[in-house]
Amino acid sequence: MSEGAAKKEEKPRKFHATRGTRDLLPPETALWNRVEQTAHEVFATFGFGEIRLPVFEPSDLFVRSIGQETDVVQKEMYIFEDARGEIWLARENVRNSIFRPAERSSVEVLKGFLNDFQVRIQAALRSGEVEHDPGQSQYYKYFSDGVEYFNKLVVKDPSVPLQFLDKAQEEIERMGPFLKHAIVGVRIGSFVVLRPEATASVCRAYIEHGMQQLPQPVKLYYMGPMFRRERPQKGRYRQFYQIGAEVLGGSDAPAIDAEVIEMVMAFFDRLELQGVQLEINSIGCRDCRPKYVELLRAALLKVKDKLGPDSQRRIETNPLRVLDSKLESEQGIIATLPHIAVHLCEECAAHYAAVKHQLEIRGVIYRENWRLVRGLDYYMRTTFEITAQGLGSQNAVCGGGRYDGLVELLGGPPTKGIGFAIGEDRLILSLQESGKAPAQQGRDVYIAWMGERAHATAIRAAKDLRKAGFSVELPPVEQKFGKALGQADKLGAKYALILGDNEVSEGLWTLKTLADGSQAKYTEPDLLAHLRKSL
């Protein structure tokens, strides 16, 4: 290898953000902050308080709430064993060891790795760090009996029945691969999931903190990253951000549904989000929905061979989701399917009518969409979705609905619930597309200084100006005034404060307005007053 090639080899690996994740950078982050600040303000005016939730939760929380048959649970969850690194590595050592039963040393290596794993996992089980459940315990016993037997074979322990000892080598050949395989099934930590959404967590927290004792309903909002292992594209990421709110407890009065929707619309209005369209639907309750789903299933079975494979599968698993299909070829058939509106029970029909009336009183403009169903199982009655402009096919910026019964499903008391989640990434995209994004963040004042005395004065001036709330750029090393002014321009500064030894001894500071190049001299207090007036 030539020296050049060797150098090239040594170049450290370049890292990239993981697929579907991205860095948010200035100046864009200023827009994110504005959006989030607006959410804090608007939601507070509706009496909502912020809840901050863990980013990962036990996997069961999501499987139980979101539903086994949903895309989120089937394909999109980031799930992993929450195991201590050393146990993980010990298990990997067993899995990765190359086993050559004819070589004594290879047998010893596997035996060593197995025993190392056993010591660590036993300690973790004893301390309760790794949970025991009956299935797991049974499996673990099966595995550790195997390890014990393997150990005895290797040392030809006399307690092994003679007929096995006689063919110990054969038994070792059989047990090695078996144990390497079986170890995969030994659980070394509980399963956790990077949250794909936050409603389940809010309900968990409501129960955990006995919030049913508080005045009802409890109104909470949250913001933060969510994780779904989807195919990344515009407006669809694997780490994305949601801003959401939930109303838990109290009644299911239609005015609550309407006020929640009014709040999202007020938020979007304050942000001047363009092309906002609200669609609503009612998907019934535990009584009427199953009957409708059966009707739908029957209707779908009649046209099964005209549907694509996804929809065909959903006839069995989740017929409502067929209504969600975007497949061009299915649209004609879907149009002929029965509408849920005419199959709602009396209570649901009355609730839906009242929600619409309440929206009208509030001046909220909506469109009814009988095909609007939500992707998660827990929704009932009111569902809604909001779209905005500039987003292509991923144009939903908010989804929400009622989920009475979810808290109960998670082990809490019977509790009404309704909420929504806004896709913040898409909200930001839409604001950018319609020119609502801030430009590069400039500086108010760039301080161009030369000379030791001037530097000390510049430091003091920067401190005072910053205290007064101005953004100030203070170059750390001396530069010629020409270069400094060029730099000030590049940074988009509004003013350059010029401090040389002359200015310092005269006590008169030069302020240059960069937009028109005009200059004026000020005493220190006058300068501050002037900036206060003009910025």
377 part of the interface to ligand ATP, by CB under 6 A? no
Q: Closest distance between ligand ATP and the C-beta of residue 277, in Å?
A: 13
Of 32-40, 310-318, 394-402, 456-464, the segment contacting ligand ATP by CB under 6 A is 394-402
Q: What is the dihedral of CA 267, 271, 274, 280, to 10 degrees?
A: -10
Residue closer to ligand ATP by CB (options 146, 375) is: 375
CB 397 within 8 A of CB 428: no
d(CA 377, CA 67): 5
CB 458 within 8 A of CB 431: no
Residue 487 has phi, psi (to 5 degrees) of -65, -45
Residue closer to ligand ATP by CB (options 57, 197) is: 197
Of 50-58, 153-161, 423-431, 466-474, the segment contacting ligand ATP by CB under 6 A is 423-431
Q: Scan residues 53-112 and list those touching ligand ATP (CB under 6 A).
A: none
Q: How many residues bind ligand ATP (CB under 6 A)?
A: 18
- What residues form DSSP beta bridges with 240? 226
d(CA 285, CA 214): 27
CB count in 10 Å sphere of residue 456: 13
Of 4-12, 256-264, 420-428, 498-506, the segment contacting ligand ATP by CB under 6 A is 420-428
- What residues form DSSP beta bridges with 495? 445, 513
| Token digits of residue 383 | 């569902």
197 part of the interface to ligand ATP, by CB under 6 A? yes
Sign (positive or negative) of CA dihedral 377, 379, 380, 386:
negative
Give the residue, chosen from 426, 443, 455, 494, that forms a contact with ligand ATP under the rule CB under 6 A.
426
Inter-axis angle of helices 85-96 and 104-126, to 10 degrees? Answer: 150
| Token digits of residue 382 | 């009111």
Residue closer to ligand ATP by CB (options 71, 82) is: 71
204 part of the interface to ligand ATP, by CB under 6 A? no
Give the residue, chosen from 207, 396, 508, 514, that forms a contact with ligand ATP under the rule CB under 6 A.
396
Inter-axis angle of helices 134-155 and 168-182, to 10 degrees? Answer: 150
- Using CB atoms within 10 Å of the CB of residue 70, give its burial: 0 to 12 exposed, 13 to 18 middle, 19+ buried: buried
SS3 195: coil
Residue closer to ligand ATP by CB (options 28, 347) is: 28
Q: Closest distance between ligand ATP and the C-beta of residue 236, in Å?
A: 4
d(CA 79, CA 84): 16
d(CA 419, CA 533): 45
Of 344-352, 393-401, 405-413, 493-501, the segment contacting ligand ATP by CB under 6 A is 393-401
| Token digits of residue 490 | 């590049």
Give the residue, chosen from 225, 375, 451, 475, that forms a contact with ligand ATP under the rule CB under 6 A.
375
423 part of the interface to ligand ATP, by CB under 6 A? yes
Residue closer to ligand ATP by CB (options 423, 500) is: 423
277 part of the interface to ligand ATP, by CB under 6 A? no
d(CA 57, CA 496): 52
Q: Scan residues 431-460 and list those touching ligand ATP (CB under 6 A).
A: none
Of 327-335, 390-398, 449-457, 488-496, the segment contacting ligand ATP by CB under 6 A is 390-398
Q: Closest distance between ligand ATP and the C-beta of residue 54, in Å?
A: 19
- The CB-nearest residue to ligand ATP is 423
x/- letters, 221..250, toward ligand ATP (CB under 6 A): -------x-x----xxx--x-x--------
CB 418 within 8 A of CB 314: no
Q: Closest distance between ligand ATP and the C-beta of residue 518, in Å?
A: 48
Binding site residues, ligand ATP, CB under 6 A: 197, 228, 230, 235-237, 240, 242, 375, 394, 396-399, 421, 423, 425-426
